[in-house]
């Protein structure tokens, strides 16, 4: 029996998918979680075989949950998303996610991916994989990406500077360069662009 933890902040989708997966003879849904923090806590407590994680959740997103679980456990994670952007796929794979598929797939396909991942294989939706091969690379340097990552939740310039051991002026210079490269006017817009393209 494959023990599965399911996390999605949309209650109707979560309960419907859980009900459909419970119809499978070899899958046992051991937990249904409404956000990333709950998914992380329950996964550490229950140690399921596979976590099926929605990408867009409050607090910790699906990739962040998968990354933390990979550092602490051998639990394998599948990320599902309504917005299957190629950059997000790259971020997910870099975080050790074992499966990645869009929410448009049927429950039978999701069950098959769970089986593959539980058996030790990896699965990436073919259409997303094809798009990822042609997607643009980030024009930002690693340090510029660090600055955006450190400020993605609205941290001040001083907080970012302390987190990265940089001078506030250096942080402002990096932000200015980022805004120019991405053709946006605010740091928050830059963060959104970088997240959308899977750079951070």
Residue 88: pLDDT band by 50, 70, 90 thresholds?
Answer: confident
Contact criterion met (CB below 8 Å) for 136 and 197: yes
Residues 148 and 102 in one domain: no
Provide the domain limits for residue 157: 142-196
Could you read off the pLDDT of 163-188 as tens digits, one per residue? 999 999 999 999 999 999 999 999 99
Residues 18 and 94 in one domain: yes
Query: What is the pTM for the complete model shown?
Result: 0.70
Whether the predicted pLDDT of 198 surpasses 80: no
Residues 64 and 98 in one domain: yes
Instruction: Report how far residue 119's alpha carbon sits from residue 100's, in angstroms, rounded to the nearest whole number.
Output: 16
Residues 63 and 153 in one domain: no
% of residues, the chain, pLDDT over 90: 71
Residues 67 and 104 in one domain: yes
Instruction: Report how far residue 154's alpha carbon sits from residue 147's, in angstroms, rounded to the nearest whole number.
Output: 11
């Amino acid at each position: 029996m494959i023990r599965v933890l399911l996390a999605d902040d949309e209650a109707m989708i979560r309960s419907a998918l859980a009900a459909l997966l419970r119809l499978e003879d070899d899958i046992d849904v051991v937990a249904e979680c409404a956000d990333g923090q709950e998914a992380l806590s329950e996964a550490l407590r229950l140690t399921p075989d596979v976590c099926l994680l929605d990408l867009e959740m409050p607090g910790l997103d699906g990739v962040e949950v998968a990354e933390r679980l990979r550092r602490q456990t051998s639990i394998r994670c599948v990320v599902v998303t309504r917005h299957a952007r190629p950059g997000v796929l790259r971020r997910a794979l870099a975080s050790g996610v074992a499966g990645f598929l869009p929410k448009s797939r049927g429950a039978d396909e999701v069950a098959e991916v769970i089986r593959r991942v539980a058996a030790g294989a990896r699965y990436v939706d073919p259409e997303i994989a094809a798009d990822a091969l042609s997607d643009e690379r980030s024009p930002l340097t690693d340090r510029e990406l660090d600055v955006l990552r450190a400020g993605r939740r609205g941290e001040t310039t001083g907080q970012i500077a302390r987190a990265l051991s940089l001078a506030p002026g250096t942080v402002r210079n990096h932000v200015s360069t980022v805004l120019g490269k991405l053709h946006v006017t605010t740091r928050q817009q830059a963060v959104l662009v970088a997240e959308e393209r899977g750079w951070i």
